[in-house]
A and B are shown apart, each in its own frame.
Chain A
Amino acid sequence: MTGDRVPVWVVDDQASFRLATAAALAATEDFVMAGECQTGESAMELIRGGDAGIVLMDIHMPGMGGIEATRRIRAAHPDLMVVLMSTYDVEDLPAGAADCGAAAYLHKENLSPHLLTRLWRAAH
């Protein structure tokens, strides 16, 4: 469906960050934006497994929040790689961030095509 590009979903209630992610993905040949959602709940509905891909998951969102959403998505689709994101320091992350099944934690401001590529290659 997306050729050999890796599908990327972004789950974040902040429109400005979804926009920045879209711009970052548009600048690469390796990734493609597969979908955006604003809450963990809508991500559960939208994201269908099948292909391997990346989910960029904000931690602090209304509703179930990013940690619980990661846990459920990983349980339903073990092939997907979930990257947790927020603007907080690692020390300020909620309990559960380490063992919810996320592959990495990323400060939002560090998101770049280069970093996504490195994360993807490290896992595959």
Chain B
Amino acid sequence: MSLSQDLFDRCAKNRFELLLYAGLALYLGVGVLLPLGLYKWVLRSPWWLAIVAVCVAWCVVLGAAMRLARHGRYEQSVTLVCIGNWAALLFVTLIVPDLLSVWVLGTLVPVAFAQNYISWQRGLAFTAVTAGCVMAMAALARFQNIANLGAHTPRGIQSAIFIPALALLALFLLVIVWNNAAALRLSESLLAQRADELAASRTRLITAADEERRRLERDLHDGAQQHLVALAVLLQLARSAEHDRYQPLLSEASGLLETAIAEIRRLAHGIYPPLLVSGGLTEALPAVAARAPIPVKINLQGLRRYPASIEAALYFCCSEALQNAAKHGGPVTTVTVTAQADDRMLTLTISDTGRGFDPATEGNGLTNMTDRLSAIGGHLAIHTAPGRGTRVTASIATPVQEGCPELPEKRRPRLGQTLHRP
């Protein structure tokens, strides 16, 4: 999942920079070089220089927007571009009203481009402002003509500028629309991929839960129940036995009863460790470490109480990793369990000095732990190789408040949303 999210972020970032550069090139060409040329060779009007000044200012704004984008502040960057664009185009409309259709297309560009990077409320506001801006430009073009450049510029030159400029802007706008569609398609395919992953992990979780119930049934049936059955037979015998023969029967029965009680206690502990309920990870992790058949060093820092789903996932993750280390690690394996927590993140690392394994042969237990953690918004990383030991790292974002509030709702990033950091 993180891999595809990465790809998605990179794609949105590249796209943003590419379009800002294209915008910069367009404005340097049409807004700066062209009016300078017209000033030099066609018509010596100071209004051309005014246009150049506005477009240079506009290019500076674009530069600032690029800096913002490079720091990941896409929403601010886009907002700056939109506002600068509205102001610049209102001004050039005032000077060259004859090219209204070119300027109108220019107004639409940043808003069409911005939609992927801003919240929908801001997108709506930008759309409204753009419509207002187009209206104002139309009014300006109709009722104002302060520079009257059109009357003094030859018609041929006017057409030579107007027609390609209109085509160029229309093309630019279409590229942006096409690009938006491409981003949407990418986002859709990533969503579909994520949905497939979720469905697979949900199936695995259900299978694991069913497997667990089967194991419980077997344990109950083959363990405690068999002892209780034998106990019932012995008590029945003792009831009808002669006085001198029921004593040994009773002592056998009491032995069976004790075994059954121990069996049930062991089973109940496996279902949910009582220390985890009463004392949380701080008490339960040292207890599971102490029960392990191999030496375990334990170092817990900053732990507090967490929602039960987090505590249980991390506890069973630790106990699974310890079992694996004891079972496959080899005779001199030692394990270190480290927990580190601050207000937002909890990281639990279980590293052993055992034999390690080929990550491709990861067992069911670790897959289940990965699914379980990812179901509550966490992440499990396994670093291992044959002969190199194993390090299992579980990390999860924790609720900030004290006590045990519910997990914050996990938000699915909208198209481009991950780029926007408020």
Would you call A20 an interface residue if the criterion is a C-beta within 8 Å of the partner chain's C-beta atoms? yes
Determine, out of B57-65, B222-230, B395-403, the stretch whose residues face the partner at the interface: B222-230
Do the beta carbons of A87 and B252 come within 8 Å of each other? no
Q: Which residues of A contact B233 (CB under 8 A)?
A: 17, 20-21, 23-24, 108-109, 111-112
Do the beta carbons of B237 and A17 come within 8 Å of each other? no
Measured CA separation A24–B231 after assembly (Å)? 12
What does DSSP make chain B's interface, helix, strand, loop or mixed?
A: helix
Would you call A19 an interface residue if the criterion is a C-beta within 8 Å of the partner chain's C-beta atoms? yes
A19 contact from B225, B228, B230, Cβ within 8 A: B230
B227 contact from A16, A23, A24, A112, Cβ within 8 A: A16
Do the beta carbons of A109 and B245 come within 8 Å of each other? no
Would you call B131 an interface residue if the criterion is a C-beta within 8 Å of the partner chain's C-beta atoms? no
Would you call B189 an interface residue if the criterion is a C-beta within 8 Å of the partner chain's C-beta atoms? no
Using a Cβ–Cβ cut-off of 8 Å, how many residues does chain B contribute to the interface with A? 21
A87 contact from B229, B241, B259, Cβ within 8 A: B229
Measured CA separation A113–B241 after assembly (Å)? 11
**B248 CB to nearest chain A CB (Å):** 8
Do the beta carbons of A27 and B226 come within 8 Å of each other? no
**B225 CB to nearest chain A CB (Å):** 6
| Known contacts A24-B237, A108-B233, A112-B236; A87/B221 CB under 8 A | yes
Do the beta carbons of B222 and A23 come within 8 Å of each other? no
Do the beta carbons of A23 and B226 come within 8 Å of each other? no
Do the beta carbons of A27 and B245 come within 8 Å of each other? yes
B252 contact from A19, A60, A109, A114, Cβ within 8 A: A19
Minimum-distance CB pairs A-B, first 8: A109-B232, A20-B230, A16-B230, A20-B233, A14-B226, A108-B229, A109-B229, A17-B230
Name 15 A/B residue pairs within 8 A (Cβ), A-sorted.
A16-B226, A16-B227, A16-B229, A16-B259, A17-B226, A17-B233, A21-B233, A23-B234, A24-B233, A27-B245, A87-B229, A109-B228, A109-B229, A109-B232, A112-B233
